[in-house]
Amino acid sequence: MRGPEPRILRGWGMANHARSLVYRPLDIGEVASAILDARDRGMSITARGSGLSYGDAALNQGGAVVDLTAMDRVLDFDPEQGLIRVEAGMTIAQLWQHVLPRGWWPPVVPGSMEVTLGGAVAMNVHGKNHATAGAIGRHVEAVTLVTGDGEVHDLRRGVVAQAEEGLWSMDLSDVLGAQGLTGTLVDVTLALRRVHSGFLEVEVETADSLPATFDALDRGAREADYTVAWVDCVGRAAGRGVLHHAWYLPPDHELAGEGMNPETQRLPGRIAGVLPRRHAWRALRPLSNDVGIRLLNTGRYYSARLRGTRRYTQTHAAFHFLLDYVPGWKQAYGSGGLLQYQLFVPAIGAREAFAEALHEQRRLGVPSYLGVLKRHTHEDGAASYSVDGYSLALDFPVGRGERYSRLMRLCRALDRIRARYGGRIYAAKDAVSVGRLPERRDPAFSSNLVRRWEEGVG
């Protein structure tokens, strides 16, 4: 490992940044020495993967950051059982490319494949199959982590690790969703999902109001393997949506055994056959305002609506990784960056809560440029963000001046809605609210987000 370097790191939304002393260890021993070195300097420590947390969860102003991305090897893979042990810095992209040719797929994937496995487990991320498959933590069989004293611990599912004196004990639930605050994850053993094809069967339908979108989502959550709704949040028709449901293909499907080569999963180089993918965000830039977004959303809704409910097959990668489809799309939000507010609320009251949320953004004149509705299930684990209910993820440009102040007022209004309906906060997305920190924490670890939540201020 080269010596640690002071660097400015950013949250994925680009609105948050911090200067930290960054260590980039190559193995477990170096993770332990990085942690001990940072502690000798009197610094707190934040573990960081690809830096895809939207806000300030992977930032540590004036402290140390342990960047795990150099640790991205496969340690062990059993292609019969579908069990894989990988280093924490391996990305979901590297993982599926490794296992798909052998007939496996990660059981849970988020909207971007750049996320590392360590980050995914530390935040206990979910995918479009949360209601049926749970978050990624449910599929974790074991992890190795390094605690603040530089000690290495192996935790396996169903086994409580204890120190010799018996004063200390820890199990997997202390790690899942704990933001790395109980220790820095260095490897993860994951139970994979068997797939018979590199393709999914996808159904697209439209819904003309928020209640109809909810109904369609509920049906998808019952019947499909994956389901997600894009929600138009602009204007009078706010709440209408386009739903995507997807199913794994059965072993007797004509596409069984097809598309298992990572090459076939590659996202197309051009969008709609013409626009180079790499530069597509530039085309979005002029549309990144209230009028443009209204046009874009209306166009999106009606183009889906005109084609009616339809079914087609699509690769896993193209279905799951929407956030990677237009690289750099967040730059279309301008220099102030982007804020996502993901409102998680229990199933009872969710329809009312989200109707209120859409109403508030209209009242304050801050429409969300991208709204995504998903069905979730309850998760155990440290300070879980997830409830048996729904989430509405709303993207906004942070903006300047009066616009920024109105957005902050909207966030406070959404906070109140969340509190009233018993909702939760997801650290991987948060930049403006206050959530629950895991009760059990190792004092060596902290972050900008942790300090903010401790203070209790958004």
Partner 1 sequence: MRHVVLVGATHGIGLALAHAYAERSWRVGIVGRSAPRVQERVGEIRESYPGCLVTGGVLDVTRRAAVTPALERVLVDLGQMDLLVYCAGVMEEGRMGSARMLDVNLLGAVDVLEWAAAHLVDVGSGRLAAIGSVAGDRGRRGNPVYGASKAGLHTYLEALRHRLHPDGIGVSTIKPGWVRTRMLGEVPSVPPSVSASRAAELILKKLDRGRDEFYVPAWWWIVSEILRTLPGPLYKRVAPS
Residues that bind partner 1 (CB under 8 A): 8, 15-19, 55-56, 59, 61-63, 335, 339, 398, 400-401, 404-405, 408-409, 412, 431-432, 448, 451-452, 455, 457-458
Q: How far is the CB of 435 from partner 1 (least distance, A)?
A: 14
Residue with Cβ nearer partner 1 (62 or 211): 62
Q: How far is the CB of 401 from partner 1 (least distance, A)?
A: 4
Q: How far is the CB of 146 from partner 1 (least distance, A)?
A: 24
The Cα–Cα gap between 400 and 209 comes to 31
Q: How far is the CB of 403 from partner 1 (least distance, A)?
A: 10
Q: How far is the CB of 364 from partner 1 (least distance, A)?
A: 12
191 touches 304 (CB < 8 A): no
Q: How far is the CB of 419 from partner 1 (least distance, A)?
A: 12
Residue with Cβ nearer partner 1 (322 or 408): 408
Residue with Cβ nearer partner 1 (128 or 452): 452
Comparing CA positions, the residue from 300, 369, 365 lying closest to residue 330 is: 369
Residue with Cβ nearer partner 1 (8 or 295): 8
Comparing CA positions, the residue from 201, 197, 225 lying closest to residue 100 is: 197
Residue with Cβ nearer partner 1 (8 or 163): 8
Residue with Cβ nearer partner 1 (102 or 451): 451
Residue with Cβ nearer partner 1 (56 or 174): 56
Q: How far is the CB of 61 from partner 1 (least distance, A)?
A: 5
Residue with Cβ nearer partner 1 (286 or 456): 456
Q: How far is the CB of 416 from partner 1 (least distance, A)?
A: 11
424 touches 387 (CB < 8 A): yes
Side-chain-side CA neighbours of 398 within 13 Å: the count stands at 17
Comparing CA positions, the residue from 213, 235, 206, 211 lying closest to residue 305 is: 206
Q: Indicate the burial class of 73 (C-beta count within 10 angstroms; 0-12, 13-18, 19 or more).
A: middle
DSSP string of 174-222, one letter each residue: GTTTSTTSS-EEEEEEEE-EE-S-SEEEEEEEEESSHHHHHHHHHHHHH
The Cα–Cα gap between 173 and 188 comes to 14
What burial letters (b/e) apply to 266-304, b meaning 16+ CB within 10 Å? eeeeeeeeeeebeebbeebeebbeeeebbebbeeebeeb
Beta bridge partners of 194: 104
Residue with Cβ nearer partner 1 (14 or 224): 14
Q: How far is the CB of 456 from partner 1 (least distance, A)?
A: 8
Give the C-alpha distances (Å, rounded to integers) separating 249 from 100, 196, 316, 389: 14, 6, 11, 27
What burial letters (b/e) apply to 181-219, b meaning 16+ CB within 10 Å? bbbbbbbbbbbbbebbbbbbbbbbbbbeebebbbebbee
